[in-house]
Structure formats: C-alpha cells, structure tokens
Amino acid sequence: MSTLPEPCRKCSPWDGLWMETNRGLKRCDCQRGRALADLSKPALPQAPTISAKAATLATEMMAVFSFFPKEAAARSLIADELRAMCSTEAEALWLVRRMARLYQTWPGLGELRSVFCSSHRPLDGVEPCCISPFFPDGIPSEAPERPPVRYLLASSPSSKTLSGGLTQTEGMSRPLPAPRASNLGGSPEQAFSEEMKQQRQPESALALLMAYGENSGIQEGPLTNSTCEMFLVLFGSDAGALATFLEQHAALQAHVKSWDLLLSMARIHVRRALVAPGLAASK
C-alpha cells in the first residue's frame, strides 16, 4: 500500500481523517481524503490469480494439522478458498506457514480467512464475519515480543556505561543509580547509618544494598543480580523500609556473613510487618 498524502489545513485538526462542515464531519476533499475514500470502498471480487495446482499443493501442506480433512471434496473446498483469498503463490505459502505456527489442530476455514485478513487484503473482498474463538483479542502479531527488562549492577561486564556513570542493559527504559562510594570515618555501623540518611529516596534501593555490602562484614562476595532482585521483590521501591531493616541489622553484621542469611532475615522482617497490624486490630 502506498503512503497517504499529507493532510491539508482542513483535515489536519482531525488527524487527516475528516473535515468539519456545517452539517458535521465528512471525508475531506483533498488528495488524502480521496485516497482514504477509495480505501474504504469494498473491494470488488476478482477472478483467482493463482493456479489450481499451487492451491492444491498449499492444501496438501496443511495436512500436518491434526484432524485435517482427508476427503478429496473437503480439500478441494479448502484449495478454492485459498484461490479466492490469495493474490500470489507467495501469499498462499505465507498463509500455510503462519497457520502452522498458530495452530496444532485444523481450526477450520473461518480461522484460515481470519489469519489471512490479519495481514493481507483478500482477493475476493470478503472479510471475516466472526470473532476467532482461539484468539478473541485478535490474531497475534508476527513481530517478536520484546525481551524482559533485566536490571544489572554497575560493575556487571554485560552492562553498558552511559553518560554520568549510569548503566543499563539492552532494551532497558531507565538507568539504575551507581553505588555511592563511602568515605566516612568511624566504625562500619556509623558509616552505614550515615549512608542510610543520605539514600532515603525511592529510586535508591539498589544503592542502599550496595552501600551495605561495602560497609558490612559480609564475606560471601559481591551482591549478585538474583539476590538484588529478591530484595527488590520484598521491599519494592520503598527505600525507607529497606533502610530501616538494614539499620536494624547493621549491628549484627558480625553474625551476618552471607547475603542469603540477610535475605532470610528480610523475609522474616517483611512477614512480621504484614502480620503485626492484624494482631493489633484483633486486640
């Protein structure tokens, strides 16, 4: 389909679709409006353009479906439907492959037309007359789904360094804060407490964990992505609750030597926080 002309000053306020008149909205009389009017006209049925042999071959390829008709008359009807819809042999081959990716059993002629009309204009001008029982929200798009967003630490080798020292992964919509280097003196407990006061912002939950790892006695190693994700699941974006929990356990760091143990303590902390209001109400 060719690109539509640009909207004129009369139809541009209506997204190039309509123009305002004394009697209401109507299709604009500019080049764009005339092109849209031509597109809205029902297509006139045309004679089949692909050969019966090509349609028969495409029909035989769909025998991979379970419960596909074996009778010659039924397969002849399916081949006629392919000739009625497809303008080229390439479209027929595309339809067969697309059906094989969407269904495991033969869904019927109605689904065959619905799948074809989701990307092509049928040669006979007949559009699907009912909603697909397999895909009530519409035939799925052929475009691949976007990969899920994964948060990486600033020290991860697979992250990209952005301006300002921030990092993000491929497809990531927002950067994560880099860890704050602590130059505070005194004991590790005091240094971490001061760090908590500076990091009480919703977007700094990750920085709180990294600051705790730098100032605590955890000997297990650096904070991994999976452990960080578990903390974020427990506390979400509530950096204040996370800071309170870490401050309470900063004095116990002589006994907390691993991130797994700290994560277990965090689960207990969150569970108690959820149960406590209910106990208070019952009393």
Task: Using 70 as the pLDDT threshold, list the residues of the chain that sit under it.
Answer: 1-2, 41-45, 144-206, 214-223, 236-239, 250-257, 274-283
Residues 84 and 29 in one domain: no
In whole angstroms, give the CA distance from residue 233 to residue 165. Answer: 25
Residue 17 sits in which domain range? 11-41
CB neighbour class for 216 (10 Å; exposed up to 12, middle 13-18, buried from 19): buried
In the chain, the number of structural domains is: 3
Give the other-Cβ count within 10 Å of 136's Cβ.
Answer: 7
Give the torsion through C-alpha atoms of 35, 38, 39, 42, to 10 deg: 180
In whole angstroms, give the CA distance from residue 258 to residue 96. Answer: 56
Residue 144 lies in a domain: no
Please report the pLDDT score of residue 48 as a whole number: 87
Residues 52 and 17 in one domain: no
Please report the pLDDT score of residue 161 as a whole number: 44
In whole angstroms, give the CA distance from residue 8 to residue 28. Answer: 9
Please report the pLDDT score of residue 70 as a whole number: 93
Residues 129 and 179 in one domain: no
Residue-wise pLDDT for 190-242, tens only, equals 554 555 445 444 346 667 777 777 666 665 666 677 777 777 777 766 667 77
Q: Does the predicted model carry a pTM greater than 0.85?
A: no
Please report the pLDDT score of residue 209 as a whole number: 74
In whole angstroms, give the CA distance from residue 213 to residue 263. Answer: 13
Please report the pLDDT score of residue 179 as a whole number: 46
Residues 57 and 34 in one domain: no
Residues 123 and 57 in one domain: yes
